[in-house]
A and B are shown apart, each in its own frame.
Chain A
Amino acid sequence: MPKDGGIGDSTRRREDIRFLTGAGRYSDDINVHGQTYAHFVRSDVAHGRIRSIDVAGAEAMPGVLKVFTSKDFEGAGGVPCGWLITSRDGTPMQEPKHPILAEGKVRHVGDPIAVVVAETKAQARDAADALEIDIEMLDAACDMKAALEDGAPRVHDDLSSNLCYDWGFVEDNREAVDEAIKAAAHVTTLELVNNRLVANPMEPRVAIGEYNPATDEHTLYTTSQNPHVIRLLMGAFVLNIPEHKLRVVAPDVGGGFGTKIFHYAEEAFVTFAAKALRRPVKWTSSRSEAFMSDAHGRDHVTKIELALDADNNFTALRTTTLANMGAYLSTFAPSVPTWLHGTLMAGNYKTPLIYVNVKAVFTNTVPVDAYRGAGRPEATFQLERVVDKAARELGVSPVELRRQNFITAFPYATPVAVEYDTGNYHATMDKLLELSDYSGFETRATDSKSRGKLRGFGIAHYIEACGIAPSNLVGQLGARAGLYESATVRVNATGSISVMTGSHSHGQGHETTFAQVISEMIGIDASQVDIVHGDTARTPMGMGTYGSRSIAVGGSAMVRAAEKVIAKAKRIAAHLMEASEGDIELKDGQFTIAGTDKSVAWGDVTLAAYVPHNYPLEEIEPGLEETAFYDPANFTYPSGGYGCEVEVDPETGHVKVLAFTAADDFGNVINPMIVDGQVHGGVAQGIGQAMMENCAYDAEGQLISASYMDYAMPRAGDVPMFTVDASCATPCTHNPLGVKGCGEAGAIGSPPAVVNAVIDALQRGGYDVGHIDMPLIPSRVWQAIQDATAAKR
């Protein structure tokens, strides 16, 4: 039994009280005295040359303070990119300037051209209508293949082509992989699209800039997953403001899913304009703006080949991907299709030879960057689809083909640079088959058939690399940042604790789970612990939350800081009890001399630290506050087996997801209820990607899924009750809590499970359908059935 409120307890989320009663304090709830409102005027064409912008009419409108254009930003830097990728030929990626406001050209629908700042929102918008902007339309480069052809419209005139980089990994394996594929007994090939998605956090982005001329201090309130990163990027690269003059606050944030990691032009704009106008400037994105200005996710086109020997052992894997970067490089965009994707291509399998080639392409579309899973869903999707297809081609069970090739001995060094510390893939597979009643499937399929429906079961087994990441390693891989995390544990005089963490919670529940860890370590009630995050003025320099890294990296930093606190507190306790430090034990908030019943309470020790009357001042400083920075030794490797059961209506192509089972290995779990919730959310998003979400552009580069009228989000009725389990835990070997991270797993493992299930259903129904690209909307499934029927005739 876990201790009440300690590690392993499903403590209810304390933050939900304010979120569910409407008492959260989101960025848009913040209003600064004297604030003005910014309205961004955005391009409605995908590609065009700006001939002229006449601001006079708009500036004369009531309430308008100023209309800004790129002219006002001469001398300011562009929005920087945080990761450098090197091409196969050793050249650095092409890195175009990303201006705050469009310079000379507009490059995607939604590209900001000008900003009106006015006394009210309505005035700013009215004046925007009066702005005269003359744009010469140019042909757009939208399709990635076409964008790479000679003579394609050039997104950036100063680059040699639309190719950002041509990355090969592991380049030294290339020839061996080619040879192995040639020599293989069987090769399964699959071409597929990983569909572009819009993250759609419930809270749209907001930025408020404030400037104090008396102290020359800037404050930015923003909807960010990592305020310190924004402070560093914007201060150092864009606006030239040193850290001590720039405070970034990311208060309650209503969901991020990756798209709030990045530094956006709007943040730099309001910070800049607040100083220029000597007035606070506020911008709140509308939902329509979010569709065309939040970084999108995924958008890969891939060909994967899996080679097997005569005994069905995987011998080699080759994959070639075109990855869409959009019009500019968003903060971490180049890393997603490369290091976050290529290094995961081994999956759960002992394939000895792997080669990954990725060409990143500029197009006249919204920038693409990390979205829940970031690279790992793209890797898992192609791998788990091709394994399923291979099983079908070879006439073997998809379960057995996976099992036969599973990695079973750990640690395991993959041929794609990473080393898995622990895992037990047979255990998660067993658990999945048990919980999903796999053996009863045939009976259920017969029942469906009697109702004219086709039932299918799909499996996917995933691996992910979380807890990003060892700084020296990512530095070698091109990251322009360290990826440690920080925490300060501040014990107050009466024993309560404030933890200042560099991690950021935007739905994950850190305020609850982090407090559980401290409660467990010290033995005081979790209500005595508060978690402070989201403000550069209050927290130590930290890298924020993404890549399922918070508990593994941020939690580890907190543990290290708490260990220092406990060590010092023991010394104080030893002094108070006149015992030797080595004999002091801390349990349930009491310091005891081992083997005796002599003890002092936690509160007595903390009070002594701050009221040091009876205190060895010559040996120990007063106070009880410690900071730790934790740089992980390796990634963590959560894994799991996912199963999806669907029913297809062959007459309409409609697919109903009947059941979904997730058997995950997250290592140790702090709060099982929160972990279940994270998996639920991830699986819902994965089902969304597989079944309905689709960010689509037409040939002219118009965004045709630009609102909820055309962009389908999954709703409760679209997903089944989930069966989730995290009992097959193999604790991480290299962090103090033995944790691996759970935030993205659901979104990584579920899309291939869903698609495998639909293909299974169609195959069982006698339709020889090899693949359908996501999303599996009814019309696509129906079309695949028509094509298979026609092919049979």
Chain B
Amino acid sequence: MHNFELVKPTSIEDAVAALKEEEAQPYSGGQTLLPTMKARLAAPTKLVSLLGIDELRYVRIEGDQVHVGGATTHATVARETKEAYPGLASLAARIGDPAVRNRGTIGGSLANNDPSACYPAAALGSGATIKTDRREIAADDFFEGMFMTALEEGEIVTGVTFPIPQAARYEKFIQPASRFPLTAVFVAKYDAGVRVAVTGASELGVFRWTEAEEALSKTFSADAVKDLKVDDADMISDLHGSGAYRAHLTKVMTARAVTALS
């Protein structure tokens, strides 16, 4: 790790101002950022901690929506959305281990957009809205591919709003070493239709499996996806599994989520 300066503002405004400096970077749970700094893969000269900003740490249930502050930990989400949005709570409860869940935050996870991260699947699968210091971005427009998002330089995720579905389920098939998803699927059933978001599988990052959405919106049963084919062209192939295997898992995990919900 190289030396760096750490500032800990107490308001979003001050944080955004601090981030104007070149080479400044937001620091939230540090569960992704610190390991990369230790490995000297990142060397920001200034870290702007978001952990002192109270207005970034909350879970509010309002009507048919869950609002989560950008610097809210996975453990908090797991605990506080258990009743209002159990599908989301269960996803948060299965990220990493207790240490990771008590430090890592939703804003950090979404901003990082690791192609194997869990939260992007919940955000995309719920049609969530990502709020930043300057605008609101629909999840459909937020994720722009592996480690890429619509966020601009110095823009911070301040909160996420999840519309609460009738039911939702996250099926996570873990990669045996990292225990991140090898392939995981978030299925959410809304009045307007079913959403299916897939993470861990594609070179392009989290994506919606639209054929399955259409089929499931018509008939919500595992049989509805039985004869669909997942295109494996952009699927990740590595030590842990081929693209074809990930395409297969996409279907199996989707079917299992649906079975569990029906």
Interface residues of A, Cβ cutoff 8 Å to B: 122, 125-126, 129, 288, 651-652, 654, 691-692, 694, 696, 704-705, 708-713, 777-779, 782-783
Contacts and interface: CB of A to CB of B under 8 A. Distances in A.
Contact of A712 (B1, B3, B176, B249): B176
B177 A692 contact: yes
B49 to A, nearest CB: 22
Interface in B169-228: 173, 176-178, 182
B232 to A, nearest CB: 13
Mostly, the B contact residues are: loop
Interface stretch (B72-80, B122-130, B149-157, B234-242): B234-242
Given A779-B245, A782-B248, A709 B178 contact: yes
Contacts of A709: 177-178
A628 B178 CA distance: 50
A652 B252 contact: yes
A710 B239 contact: yes
B239 A705 contact: yes
B259 to A, nearest CB: 11
A652 B178 contact: no
A735 B141 CA distance: 74
B99 interface: no
Interface of B: 1-3, 39-40, 173, 176-178, 182, 239-242, 245, 248-249, 252
Given A651-B252, A696-B239, A782 B245 contact: yes
A779 B252 contact: no
B134 to A, nearest CB: 34
B63 to A, nearest CB: 38
B176 A777 contact: yes
Given A704-B239, A783-B242, 10 more contacts: A122-B3, A288-B39, A651-B252, A705-B239, A709-B177, A710-B239, A712-B176, A713-B177, A777-B176, A782-B248
Nearest to A652: B252
B239 A778 contact: no
Given A288-B39, A652-B252, A783-B245, A708 B239 contact: no
Nearest to A125: B40
Contacts of A692: 176-177
Nearest to A694: B239
A308 B219 CA distance: 58
B240 A777 contact: yes
30 contacts: A122-B3, A125-B40, A652-B173, A652-B249, A654-B173, A691-B176, A692-B176, A696-B239, A705-B177, A705-B239, A708-B177, A708-B178, A710-B177, A710-B178, A710-B239, A710-B240, A712-B177, A713-B177, A777-B176, A777-B240, A777-B241, A778-B173, A778-B182, A778-B241, A779-B240, A779-B241, A779-B242, A782-B245, A783-B242, A783-B245
Contacts of B176: 691-692, 712, 777-778
Contacts of A705: 177, 239
Contacts of B177: 692, 705, 708-713
B213 to A, nearest CB: 22
Contacts of B3: 122
B50 to A, nearest CB: 25
B246 to A, nearest CB: 9
7 pairs of A and B residues whose beta carbons are closest in the complex = A779-B241, A712-B177, A712-B176, A779-B245, A709-B178, A692-B176, A710-B177
A778 B176 CA distance: 9
A654 B256 CA distance: 15
Which of A654, A705, A710 has most B Cβ within 10 Å?
Answer: A710
A704 B40 CA distance: 19
Most buried by A among B40, B173, B176, B242: B176
A452 to B, nearest CB: 11
A386 B39 CA distance: 44
A283 B177 CA distance: 28
A708 B2 CA distance: 23
A129 B1 CA distance: 12
Nearest to B253: A652
The winner among B178, B240, B242 for most chain A CB atoms within 10 A is B240
Contacts of B241: 777-779
Contacts of B240: 710, 777, 779
B193 to A, nearest CB: 26
Nearest to A126: B2
Contacts of B248: 782
A389 B166 CA distance: 52
A694 B241 CA distance: 13
